[in-house]
Structure 1
């Protein structure tokens, strides 16, 4: 069993994209952020795949950890894209993108005496919406987040669909009425967006408080100016 960190391996053995000095706020130490096993990263010939389970927004004690986790995720993805790598980010991100991605958001905000702009601008949601194309942002973009880098594939194929929820409250049995939120995503970088032929949820598949999200990649995709078999890209000679 190796005790060498991946980021300390020779550059040709690293996945890369590691945060550089000054890119993270340092509110929560890197080792603490990485201590809960919330992210698995695999590199394939065609893309880097990140499987993520983001911290939930449960109570005040986790706010700093949650925000710092999203900050680190944002930086890692942006660094990978800046290195010329394609990225797929998928998983339970525990963040609602906009008011159309959850049931009765506006009613809930009225009860809490919060405006939609305030809700959209909550730290983790603001980071997320600056990471994705067509995200809702109030005011100027943050330094280091001047451009979006990932597409929300379900929204690409269903841009105005309401009720596309992926998570429900099982204690209150809200699933039959589809009173829930969309917090599970498949996101991809711009260079491979056109590889996907569909993306959707499987709301009828039971067994959890979440439902699956899927995206389909074409058998033949555009690469370097020509159509190439995806199999050949994923398994180069």
Structure 2
């Protein structure tokens, strides 16, 4: 689910005609989590539990009658994989802390919905394997109590080479089951183990039946994926299964849906006809729902008032217009964030005292100083136009005038908001010096001026009237055409280079991974990835490379720009 209970919308927690059950991670909000939805018009869940080991309990804890089974996995009774330090977990607390399992009893079978861990690093491998072992032991104990089990979800393991996009390659086929997770899965599935891959039974030799794709490399376009999502059943459930398949055309995630259909009725070996509607539990009051059902949460039971109800549309208690928070803009100090708790209630007992920030005058970067004999643009000091023909009042007078107007005059906001970059390089419109007059108010708007600043401005303006200085400045500044050409070359987009194998323009990418290269731009072969695409010599044998797909071309944008500059300078 990748969300938290506090961020779950009501329409997701309580959809029409469905009863929902959730398991959220304890510490990492939005990291994982699973959910089960049961159509109340078809079946009524009898019991529900969070986790696999039975240690996760709601408040109040489940009674013996509310529990699904009598026995649960124990860390001391099964062989777990030690971590990198050689220590074996003494309990399942860490494995159960990420909200990865839900168990719901539907009478005919016990549904176990899992989101098994991924192997993001070597240190994560023991965590992954131990979760699998805990799952396997829970199923074994349920079967020992005479229950049929259906396991659904992301197992995060490829069952056979047929379920992997590169499984057909000789180097992968020979060592496919060497990985501990694949070896475990291979031993748990029939014909060796007790669980049957329900969907694969209807498509035994089907290729490309993948359920997950790497979205970062656009692998879905060429169906370069893996099958890691399964529906596994115990032998007693096989007569009820009518059909199963995947739905790769449905998008919205890096995974696609997977499903099975049940027969409405079956005939046993003894000739007895069984109807599904008679076996699945249905009916009963909503008060009899399992304690874990979202409908029984406090926030939906009418016992707890949500903060959002006070600011809802049309609410008479407190409308947004009358809200004491309406006049306050959010700041880092007033924004409260919590992943595992409800939003804190605001304290309205004391009136809010808002102190406006000090008002600073806007600084305009478009005012300039011009001499009467030249059109050279010279930025003014403190962005205030001063001409040699203008008389500057004494500093003391300016400061006194500034303090008098500090409480009277509010600087006007610049029209048009933020200036565009192009405005700094546009040809300025030159006005005669006599038209640039300064009012006392203009001077007092800039309160940071000192007497030395005014004196320096007068000297600079006077020096520009010297013909020798004007000639030096004119020769030092490039012409308009030269400036335009220089800026055009600097700001021009980098032309993509051609990849070396296919000779086709490469595709631009940006580094999003945190680190020293984050934000840098690079080029890769523009062809899509596919079975046998060139990952590089260290990851792919040369004889197994399929040149119909992406080659291993890579180049930083800075290198492309440098090569283009060197080429232009030599030519």
1:151 aligns with 2:208: no
2:100/2:115 contact within 8 Å kept: yes
The residue that corresponds to 1:189 in the other structure is 234
Q: 3-state DSSP class of the match of 1:193?
A: helix
Q: Is the 8 A contact 2:163 2:227 kept in 1?
A: yes
How many correspondences in the alignment? 216
- C-alpha separation between the residues in 2 aligned to 1:126 and 1:77? 18
1:41 maps to 103
Q: CA–CA distance in 1 between the matches of 2:208 and 2:282?
A: 41
- More strand by proportion, 1 or 2? 1
- Structure 2 partner of 1:228: 274
| Structure 1 residues 174-215: Cα deviation after superposition (integer angstroms, max 9, x where no partner) | 111111000000111100111111000001111111100010
TM-score, L = length of structure 1: 0.84
User: For the structure 1 residues 201 and 101, does the alpha-carbon distance in structure 2 shift closer, same or farther, using more than 3 Å as the test?
Assistant: same
1:13 aligns with 66
Are 2:77 and 1:22 equivalent residues in the alignment?
Answer: yes
After the TM superposition, which segments of 4 or more aligned residues of structure 1 sit over 3 Å from their partners? 115-118, 222-225
Residue 167 (structure 2) pairs with residue 122 (structure 1)? no
Q: What is the rounded CA distance, in whole Å, between the counterparts of 1:92 and 1:198 in structure 2?
A: 20
Match of 1:91 among 140, 148, 153: 153
Q: 1:61 & 1:234 partners in 2: Cα distance?
A: 43
Contact 2:267–2:274 (Cα < 8 Å) also in 1 = yes
Give, in whole Å, the separation in 1 of the partners of 2:110 and 2:269. Answer: 18
- Written as runs of structure 1 = structure 2, the 5 A alignment for 1:193-208 is 193-208=238-253
Q: Please give the secondary structure, in 2, of the residue aligned with 1:77.
A: helix
Post-superposition offset of 1:236:
7.1
Cα distance in 1 for partners of 2:207, 2:183 equals 21
Question: RMSD between aligned alpha carbons?
Answer: 2.1
Question: Which of 94, 98, 107 lines up with 1:32 in the alignment?
Answer: 94
Check whether the contact 1:93–1:183 (CA below 8 A) recurs between aligned residues. Answer: yes
Picking from 213, 230, 234, the partner of 2:258 is: 213
CA contact (8 A) 1:88 1:186 kept: yes
Give the direction of change, closer, same or farther, for the CA distance of 1:232–1:89 in structure 2 (3 Å limit).
same
Q: TM-score, normalised by structure 2?
A: 0.36
Using the alignment, how far apart are the partners of 1:18 and 1:224 within structure 2? 33
Q: Relative contact order: is structure 1 or structure 2 higher (C-alpha 8 Å, sep ≥ 6)? A: 1
Give ranges in structure 2 of 5+ residues lacking alignment.
Answer: 1-57, 82-87, 284-571
Structure number, greater radius of gyration: 2
Question: Does the alignment pair 1:164 with 2:209?
Answer: yes
CA 13–100 in structure 1, closer or farther in 2 if over 3 Å, else same: same
